[in-house]
C-alpha cells in the first residue's frame, strides 16, 4: 500500500505494473486473507496500525476483485479507468506541438506496438499503453521464472520502457499542474 502510494505519485507506469502484480498475488493466494496476511502483509515493517492498514488494503482489493468478477483475469475498474486516462494523455502528447521527444519515442515504438497487439490476439482493440505495459509485465514474469529472453525482445521492450518512462514523467508533471497540453 505504501509502495503503491509512492509509485502512484512518482511513476504511473510503475504503479500500474505494481498493481497488476498485486492483483496476481491476491489471485495466487486464492483471495484468502489469512494466507495473504501470512505471506504478504507480515513482510512489511511498521507499527501495528500500519500493518493493519496494509492488511485492510489487501482485503479491500481482494473483495473488490471478487465483486467486479475478475477472479481469474482482468483488472480492477479503477486501474482500467486510470489506463484509459493515461492512454488519452498519450494521444494528447502525440497531438501536441511541444512534445517532440515523446513523439520521437512513440514513432520508434509504434510498429512494434502494432505487431504485438496483433500477436496478443485480443478481439477488442487494446490501447497502445496497455500493449506496452502488458509487454513489460510479461517480461517481468519471464525474468522471475528465469526464462530466456531474446535480444530482439529485450531491444523492443527497452523502447517500450523508454516511452513509458517519458510518459510517466510528463504525466506526473501534468497531474501536479506544471505541464499544460
pLDDT digit string, tens, across residues 5-17: 999 999 999 999 9
Q: For the chain, what is the radius of gyration of the CA atoms? A: 18
Whether 171 and 86 have beta carbons less than 8 Å apart is answered as: yes
End-to-end CA distance of the chain: 31
Residue 181: predicted pLDDT: 84
CA gap 161, 120 in Å, rounded: 18
Is the pLDDT score of 56 beyond 70? yes
125's CB contacts (< 8 A; 6+ apart) are: 117
Residue 180: predicted pLDDT: 85
Mean pLDDT of the 6-31 span: 97
Tell me the three cell numbers of residue 115: 505487431
pTM higher than 0.95: no
Is the pLDDT score of 123 beyond 70? no
Percent above pLDDT 90 for the chain: 90
CA gap 32, 111 in Å, rounded: 42
Task: Please name which of 49, 61, 68 lies closest in space to residue 21, comparing C-alpha atoms.
Answer: 61
Question: Mean pLDDT of all residues in the chain?
Answer: 94
Q: Is 177 helix (H, G, I), strand (E, B) or coil?
A: coil
Is the pLDDT score of 82 beyond 90? yes
Residue 122: predicted pLDDT: 66
Q: pLDDT band at residue 124, thresholds of 50, 70 and 90? A: low
Residue 125: predicted pLDDT: 83
Amino acid at each position: 500500500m505504501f509502495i503503491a502510494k509512492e509509485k502512484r505519485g512518482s511513476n504511473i507506469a510503475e504503479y500500474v505494473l505494481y498493481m497488476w502484480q498485486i492483483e496476481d498475488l491476491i489471485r495466487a493466494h486464492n483471495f484468502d486473507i489469512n494466507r495473504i496476511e501470512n505471506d504478504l502483509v507480515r513482510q512489511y515493517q511498521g507499527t501495528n496500525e500500519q500493518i493493519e492498514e496494509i492488511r485492510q488494503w489487501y482485503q479491500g482489493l481482494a473483495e473488490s476483485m471478487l465483486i467486479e468478477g475478475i477472479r481469474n483475469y482482468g483488472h480492477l475498474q479503477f486501474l482500467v479507468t486510470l489506463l484509459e486516462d493515461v492512454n488519452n494523455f498519450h494521444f494528447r502528447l502525440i497531438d501536441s506541438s511541444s512534445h517532440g521527444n515523446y513523439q520521437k519515442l512513440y514513432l520508434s515504438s509504434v510498429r512494434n506496438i502494432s505487431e504485438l497487439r496483433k500477436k496478443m490476439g485480443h478481439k477488442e482493440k487494446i490501447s497502445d499503453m496497455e500493449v506496452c505495459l502488458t509487454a513489460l509485465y510479461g517480461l517481468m514474469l519471464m525474468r522471475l521464472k528465469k526464462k530466456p529472453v531474446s535480444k530482439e525482445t529485450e531491444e523492443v521492450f527497452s523502447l517500450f520502457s523508454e516511452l513509458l518512462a517519458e510518459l510517466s514523467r510528463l504525466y506526473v508533471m501534468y497531474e501536479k499542474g506544471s505541464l499544460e497540453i
